[in-house]
Amino acid sequence: MIRISGREMAAAAHKLRQKPKLRTFHATVLVTRAEQWWVEAETAEEAQELLASGHGHHASLGERVHVEMETMPEEAGLV
């Protein structure tokens, strides 16, 4: 006669349970980050103008300061 402990039975039952089927959802998410940038300039005003016009060098990615979901298509199954 083979004896199975309660712990072994519970482990076997856990393995037999069906896990819910996961689906993939896509969304458009707006993320605001506080990034570090640098630029070489003669004055602070010149540096501000250069950075505002897209010039400069990216120093670090920074931390997320705001995240907002913009859209999730209906076909994703959440409507």
DSSP state of 54: T
pLDDT tens profile 9-42: 777 777 777 778 888 888 898 889 888 999 999 9
Report the chain's mean pLDDT, rounded to a whole number. Answer: 83
Mean pLDDT to the nearest integer, 41-48: 96
* Overall residue count recorded for the chain in this entry: 79
Strand locations in 1-79, DSSP E?
Answer: 28-38, 57-71
Q: CB–CB of 15/57 below 8 Å?
A: no
Q: 25 and 74 in contact (C-beta within 8 Å)?
A: no
pLDDT > 50? residue 79: no
Q: What is the pTM of this model?
A: 0.46
In contact, 40 and 57? CB cutoff 8 Å: no
Q: What pLDDT sits at residue 57? A: 92
What is the structure's pLDDT at 75?
Answer: 63
- Please state the separation of Cα 37 from the chain's center in Å: 22
